[in-house]
Amino acid sequence: MQSLSILKEALERLEAGFNALPELNVDLDMDAMRSILLNVADRMQDNLPTIIPCTPDKCSNRRTPLPGLRMRCHSG
């Protein structure tokens, strides 16, 4: 899936950018963090909104299901 390969590329770039930061000396529960993130990943597999492209006969130029998401409208 192309979108997941893009996500992987973005995570690699993010990780590379963090390499220059000083080490953070905070006691983090990495097992708990892993569990939460994997739970979110499982829940997102069938819980994302379907985005319908805008066409002249069916314009999606209205509120979108995700805050901050802008749809490209057929009218420009």
The string of pLDDT tens digits covering residues 9-66 is 999 999 999 888 888 888 989 999 999 999 988 888 776 566 656 665 666 555 555 5
Indicate whether this model's pTM tops 0.75. no
User: Who contacts 71 (Cβ-Cβ below 8 Å, separation ≥6)?
Assistant: 51, 54, 60, 61, 64
**What pLDDT does residue 10 have?**
94
Tokens matching residue 43 = 């829940």
Instruction: Quote the pLDDT of residue 58.
Output: 63
- Say if residues 73 and 57 touch (Cβ distance below 8 Å): no
Bridge partners, 37 (sequence order) = none
The token pair that represents 73 in the structure block? 């409208």
Q: Could you give the CA distance from residue 76 to residue 72 in angstroms, rounded to a whole number?
A: 7
Which band of pLDDT confidence, cut at 50, 70 and 90, is reported for residue 1? confident
